[in-house]
Amino acid sequence: MIRLHVPDDLAAGADLIPAPEQSRYLTTVMRLAVGAEVLLFNGRDGEWRATLVEAGKRGCRLAVGARVRPQTDGPDLDLVVALVKRARLETIIEKAAELGARRVRLAVTRRTNADHTNVARLRAIAVEAAEQTGRLDVPQIVAPEKLERLLDGWDATRPLMFCDEGGGVPPALEALRAVAPGPGAVLIGPEGGFAPEEGERLRALPFVTAVSLGPRILRADTAAIAALTLWQAALGDWRG
């Protein structure tokens, strides 16, 4: 069944007018007729069944019925990723949503090879991925920030797993097994790796654990997928 993320409050008996692009998707792309059912979620009120009660050239209207699932939250997991080229960054956002990250924080490093990004488009990709995967929330996409400033303001109670290509560090899964369950974060650097001074600072921070993702050099999108998978397997909602 089609799922839509909406900003509106959801409750039985509510009427809802989807955004124009959502209306076009329902009536023009998917060709739903009056009486068809969809699922709605907003990240606050759980998931609700709704019925298409009006459809026309100017849009459509949905009538909210019964709640299907109560609101639940996944693991409190952040992905901190350096800006990379657009296609790879979009893949990272999509896969982070699929893999259950609660936030994606974009970082600007010394070797970042992209100096800007379309945050609105990244948020739209996160919404679409959330709709398709069945999660009840959408990961927050935080606008780019210099790595130095991000680390200066870091909450030291949130352990940060730093994927270090320098060697001499434990495998990620081994390191994660020594971390207590709770909020966490994964840091992925740019395609050229972290500058030496960035790596030195990261290794010196008490809340940072440097880990290895194996013997091969991974592209940023592959590294993000691998690291999030390992974190979820060790500390997240894949353990059950």
The type of residue at 97 is: A
SS3 38: strand
Q: Is the pLDDT of residue 195 over 70?
A: yes
How confident is the model over 108-166, as pLDDT tens digits? Answer: 999 887 667 899 999 999 999 999 999 999 999 999 999 999 999 999 999 999 998 77
Task: Choose among 115, 102, 94, 92: nearest CA to 163.
Answer: 92
pLDDT digits (tens, 9 = 90+) for 174-189: 999 988 899 999 999 9
What is the per-residue pLDDT across 43-60, written as a single tens digit (0 to 9) for each?
Answer: 999 999 999 999 988 889
Taking residues 230-234, what's their average pLDDT? 95
List the single range of 23-27, 109-113, 122-126, 223-227 with lowest mean pLDDT. 109-113
Beta bridge partners of 47: 41, 69
Residue 240: its pLDDT value, please? 60
* % of the chain exceeding 70 in pLDDT: 99
DSSP E strands in the chain: the ranges are 3-5, 15-16, 37-41, 47-56, 59-69, 77-82, 103-108, 140-146, 160-163, 184-188, 208-211
Is residue 92 over pLDDT 90?
Answer: yes
Give bridge partners of residue 61 from the DSSP assignment: 54
**Domains in the chain, start-ordered, CATH in brackets?**
3-69 (2.40.240.20), 77-235 (3.40.1280.10)
- Helix-strand-coil split of the chain, %, nearest 5: 30, 25, 40
Contacts 24+ apart (CB under 8 A), 54-62: 55/26, 55/27, 59/17, 59/18, 59/20, 59/23, 60/17, 60/18, 60/23, 60/26, 60/27, 61/15, 61/16, 61/17, 62/15, 62/16, 62/17, 62/18, 62/38
Strand 15-16 relative to strand 37-41: parallel, antiparallel, unpaired?
A: unpaired
- Pick the more confident residue, 76 or 111: 76
Tell me if 91 sits within 8 A of 78, measured CB to CB.
no
- In order of 10, 99, 183, the CA distances from 90 in angstroms are 29, 14, 24
